[in-house]
Structure 1
Amino acid sequence: MTNSTPFTQFILDAYLDVGLLKYLVFITVMCLYIVIIVSNVLLIVVICVNRSLHEPMYFFLCSLFVNELLGSTAVFPLLLTEILRDIHTIPVSFCFLQIFSIYSYANIELCILAAMSYDRYLSICHPLQYHTNMTSTKVAVLIALTWGFPVVEVGVMVSLSAPLHLCGNVIPKVYCDNYYIVKLACSDITVNNFYGIVYTVIIICSVLSVIIYSYSKILKVCFSGSKQTRHKAVSTCTPHIVSLLNFCFGCCFEIFQSRFNMTYLPTVLRVFLSLYFLTCQPLFSPLIYGLNLTKIRNICKSIFCVNRMFYNLSVSAELGSNRHRWLISASVLCCSVTP
């Protein structure tokens, strides 16, 4: 798709000149990115390899972790590059690619969280019919919808923004944002605004209706059910609620910051909070689910215990081998000095 703007690059204007501290910031961000990759990949492998985790809830979790890997990859490589640069620019084509990736990540994350709340509703409110209702085919269809619908919606949004004629090329953020590109347009943006409103309403209303309905039914069962039912609801729903609230907080701040004037906040705080839903969600989700879900926690413990056992055995074998060699050397030395 051809962009009609005369600019070939966008300027990302939110980067601060921190001098030599940029190297410390670079190392910190790099370590954060490595932790995100390792933790998410570890849990994806754990879920895929262990047949005991081949259940609907864990398939949704695996989809969540894959999305968070893609979302963090949409922002971290560029962020690391720009931290070390003095001039913060990005080509127009890469800017729209980043917009597509970030918006897709955010919408897919919300849809997966909504699908997970529906799964918890069926598991807690209809436990006897759970495996009948949540078949492998239905899980596959839900996962396909949670990815396909947001990707199509975001694709249409980007296709409407790309042809706009722009009067400027300065974006006051550390990454590309469709809202600010539309604000830079000189041409008519009525279609963009209308589609943006419809698109936002559809996503938010559909996601919120599924989540509110699911958890209202779960709460009703908890208040009227047995102690075992309440314990199951708390143990399986707590990580999901924490993850949902964490992500919604980051998204809400980003929306408020873009739509309303929040320049009274320190620039560093605004930059951090604008990156929150892109960095903290992929970082916290593996910890939240890995520590709170018993099956995943036990399997991770067993993996680390086995690795530690093999390490101890290898060290013991190496020490034993060294000791054996030392005894042989001592014997040879004694024989050589004996008259």
Structure 2
Amino acid sequence: MMGFIAQNNTSILYLEGFSFQENMVIPVFLFFFTIYFTIVVGNVSVMRVIIVNRHLHEPMYILLCNMSLCDLIGSTALLPRLMVDLFAEVKSISFELCFTQAFCIHFYGTASKLILIVMAYDRYVAICNPLRYTAILTGTTLVKLCCFMWGVALILIVITLGLTVRLPRCGTTILLIFCNNVSLFSLSCVDTTLNSIFGLATTYFLSTFSFTTIVWTYGKILYTCLIKRDNNSKRKAIHTCATHLTVYIFYEVIVLFTVIAQRYPSTNTNIRNSIGILIMITSPLLNPIIYGINTKEIRRNVFRFEPLKILDNNQ
């Protein structure tokens, strides 16, 4: 793929920034800095607790660790660069760096959906088939699932951006505050129907597949818990399922609006940029709380600051 990049000149691209008054730069910077700091602290804390505590080396926690890593990739691809650009009069970026940012952002979006699918499957097996859990989700199976999550995401994004980077570029203005596939192939002076169709088809397939899978698995989990006589189990099931589904559906709605807005350049710049940022910070902010700190074992250890080493089982 890098060969394709070399065939295009290494032109400088220009990003459309937010439209706000100069005296708002510092407050906006502090807002994004606080968001990014919170994301990093939250996700690193979850990862640290899982890595350090050997008794948390189970499928559910390992998948949580994968999710935190994915969230860090997505937020780091966007926010540091965005904060620097706030102070730049001319918001320019090289094509190579723009391509790298687009790759990381799309990789994050695709991998996060696949991780959520596998996490939902893990919870389904644990609650609906508890006696077979260790037999179904063995160490080998978990490794295969992790390879599936990251591997499929990598393949899809390589194909998507491979179709884009082959195109000759005529324009130099990115109609967003960050780079993504749509903004890159929109710079081309040739027909980009194939790129648009493939991108929409991939988004539709992933969103439909993940939505169907997650709703079905959580529905089965909820049903299994509700038929139990234990009222405490019922309350926990309703709370967990409702929280997870609310966060997931909210994320999918933002994705839908983003896809629509980016394909209509007439959409207000600030609205388009705000939606794009919202999709990149919502999950990394909420996931450590909803899936991590809300879990008793992680919450119990998250404020302990032992040296980063693998602890014995009896510690």
TM-score range, shorter chain: 0.7 to 0.9
Which residue of structure 2 aligns with residue 321 of structure 1? none
Which residue of structure 2 aligns with residue 256 of structure 1? 260
Secondary structure of the residue that 1:184 maps to in structure 2? coil
Considering only aligned residues, what root-mean-square deviation do their CA atoms show, in Å? Answer: 2.5
- Which amino acid in structure 1 is aligned with residue 302 of structure 2? C
2:250 pairs with 1:240? no
Which residue of structure 2 aligns with residue 126 of structure 1? 129
> What is the CA deviation profile of residues 105-128 of structure 1, one whole-angstrom value per residue up to 9, with x for unaligned ones?
001111111111111111111111
Aligned-pair CA distance for 1:198: 3.7
Q: 1:188 to 1:253 in 2, by over 3 A?
A: closer
Aligned-pair CA distance for 1:279: 1.5
Equivalent-residue separation in structure 2 for 1:74 and 1:7 (angstroms): 20
Secondary structure of the residue that 2:22 maps to in structure 1? coil
> What is the CA deviation profile of residues 176-227 of structure 1, one whole-angstrom value per residue up to 9, with x for unaligned ones?
1211322332223243234324423432333233223312322332343332
Unaligned runs of 5+ in 1: 307-339
Aligned-pair CA distance for 1:260: 4.2
Identify which of structures 1 and 2 has the higher relative contact order when contacts are C-alpha pairs closer than 8 Å and 6+ apart: 2
> What is the CA deviation profile of residues 263-307 of structure 1, one whole-angstrom value per residue up to 9, with x for unaligned ones?
3x6x54442222012122212211223442122122235x27x9x
Aligned-pair CA distance for 1:93: 1.0
Which residue of structure 2 aligns with residue 278 of structure 1? 280
Aligned-pair CA distance for 1:81: 1.3
Which residue of structure 2 aligns with residue 287 of structure 1? 289
Equivalent-residue separation in structure 1 for 2:158 and 2:147 (angstroms): 16
Secondary structure of the residue that 2:130 maps to in structure 1? coil
Equivalent-residue separation in structure 2 for 1:285 and 1:113 (angstroms): 10
Give runs of aligned pairs for residues 27-38 of structure 1, distance below 5 A.
27-38=30-41
Q: 1:268 to 1:191 in 2, by over 3 A?
A: closer
Which residue of structure 2 aligns with residue 325 of structure 1? none
- Which amino acid in structure 1 is aligned with residue 262 of structure 2? S
Give runs of aligned pairs for residues 181-330 of structure 1, distance below 5 A.
181-227=184-230, 229-234=233-238, 236-260=240-264, 263=267, 267-300=269-302, 303=304
Aligned-pair CA distance for 1:54: 1.8
Dislocated runs of 4+, deviation >4 Å: 3-7
1:141 to 144, 161, 171: 144
Aligned-pair CA distance for 1:30: 1.9
Which residue of structure 1 aligns with residue 114 of structure 2? 111
Aligned-pair CA distance for 1:158: 0.8
Equivalent-residue separation in structure 1 for 2:282 and 2:114 (angstroms): 18
Secondary structure of the residue that 2:178 maps to in structure 1? coil
TM-score normalised to the size of structure 1? 0.81
Aligned-pair CA distance for 1:234: 3.6
Secondary structure of the residue that 2:131 maps to in structure 1? coil
Q: 1:274 to 1:300 in 2, by over 3 A?
A: same
Q: 1:205 to 1:249 in 2, by over 3 A?
A: closer
Equivalent-residue separation in structure 1 for 2:233 and 2:140 (angstroms): 27
Is this contact kept in 2: 1:36–1:69, CA < 8 A?
yes
Equivalent-residue separation in structure 2 for 1:191 and 1:245 (angstroms): 29
2:172 pairs with 1:169? yes
- Which amino acid in structure 1 is aligned with residue 173 of structure 2? V
Is this contact kept in 1: 2:16–2:175, CA < 8 A?
yes
Is this contact kept in 1: 2:293–2:302, CA < 8 A?
no
User: Which deviates more, 81-90 or 242-251?
Assistant: 242-251
- Which amino acid in structure 1 is aligned with residue 290 of structure 2? I
> What is the CA deviation profile of residues 38-66 of structure 1, one whole-angstrom value per residue up to 9, with x for unaligned ones?
11111100011112322211111110000
Is this contact kept in 2: 1:253–1:274, CA < 8 A?
no
Equivalent-residue separation in structure 1 for 2:186 and 2:272 (angstroms): 19
Is this contact kept in 1: 2:254–2:278, CA < 8 A?
yes
Q: 1:209 to 1:188 in 2, by over 3 A?
A: same
Give runs of aligned pairs for residues 88-107 of structure 1, distance below 5 A.
88-107=91-110
Aligned-pair CA distance for 1:165: 1.5
Matched residue pairs, number? 303
Unaligned runs of 5+ in 2: 307-315
Equivalent-residue separation in structure 2 for 1:297 and 1:145 (angstroms): 29
Could you say which structure has the larger radius of gyration?
Answer: 1
2:17 pairs with 1:14? yes
Aligned-pair CA distance for 1:5: 5.2
Secondary structure of the residue that 1:275 maps to in structure 2? helix
User: Which deviates more, 239-248 or 290-299?
Assistant: 239-248
TM-score normalised to the size of structure 2? 0.87
User: Which deviates more, 225-234 or 98-107?
Assistant: 225-234
Q: 1:57 to 1:262 in 2, by over 3 A?
A: farther
- Which amino acid in structure 2 is aligned with residue 105 of structure 1? Y
> What is the CA deviation profile of residues 121-143 of structure 1, one whole-angstrom value per residue up to 9, with x for unaligned ones?
11111111111111121112111
Is this contact kept in 1: 2:12–2:93, CA < 8 A?
yes
